[in-house]
Amino acid sequence: MKHMLALSELTEGQKGKVFQNNGVGGMRRRLQDIGLIPGTEVKRLQASPLGDPCAYQIRGAVIALRQQDACRILVETL
């Protein structure tokens, strides 16, 4: 059962595959530069102590993203 979610909606430890990057401006490009393009597998890691931002594993690197940015990335759950 695959379904679409925003990246920010993944639960801790859950994996997803990027479907669409709806980021705007510089952030869109920055995420692409670190390899976040459609088809890329992403794993949600821990949240920070105050709940936002969250850490994500993207192509072997750990990247912290704020909720407001992560919610613009659509993923298919795996």
Partner 1 sequence: MGLTADSTGLRAVDRGLILEKQSPRDRIIALAGNPNVGKSTVFNQLTGLHQHTGNWPGKTVANVQGRHTYRGRDYILVDIPGTYSLMAHSAEEEVARNFVCFGKPDGVVVVCDATCLERNLNLVLQILEVTHRVVVCVNLMDEAKKKKIQLDLPLLEKRLGVPVVGVTARSRRGMEELMERVEEVSTPRYLATPCQVAYPAAIEAAVARIQPVVAPLLEGKTDSRWAALRLLEGEKSLLRELDQALPQPVSKDPVVKQAVASSCEVLAKEGIGQQELPDRIVGSLVETAEELCQGVVTRQESRAAALDRKLDLLFTSRKTGIPIMLLLLAGILWLTITGANYPSQLLSDFLFSFQDHLTALFVSLGAPDWLHGLVVLGMYRVLAWVVSVMLPPMAIFFPLFTLLEDFGYLPRVAFNLDRCFQRACACGKQSLTMCMGFGCNAAGVVGCRIIDSPRERLIAILTNSFVPCNGRFPTLITLITIFFTAGLTQPAGSLVSTLMLTGVIVLGVGVTFGVSKLLSHTLLKGVPSSFALELPPYRRPQVGRVIVRSVFDRTLYVLGRAVVIAAPAGMVIWLMANLSVGGESLLTLCSGFLDPLGRVMGLDGVILLAFILGFPANEIVIPIMVMTYLSAGTLNQTENLSQLHQLLTAQGWTWLTALNTILFSLMHWPCSTTCLTIYKETKSVKWTLLAIGIPTAIGMTTCIGTTLIARIFGLA
Secondary structure of residue 50 in the 3-state scheme: coil
Please state, in angstroms and rounded to a whole number, the distance separating the CA atoms of residues 56 and 25.
Answer: 21
Q: Which of 5, 31, 73, 75 binds partner 1 (CB under 8 A)?
A: 31
Q: Which of 2, 4, 32, 41 binds partner 1 (CB under 8 A)?
A: 32
In this structure, the strands spanning 4-6 and 61-65 are unpaired
Name which of 1 and 50 has its Cβ closer to partner 1: 50
Name which of 53 and 77 has its Cβ closer to partner 1: 53
The single-letter DSSP state of residue 13 is T
Please state, in angstroms and rounded to a whole number, the distance separating the CA atoms of residues 48 and 19.
Answer: 25
Binding site for partner 1 (CB under 8 A): 21, 23, 25-27, 29-35, 37-38, 40, 45-53, 55, 59-66, 68-69
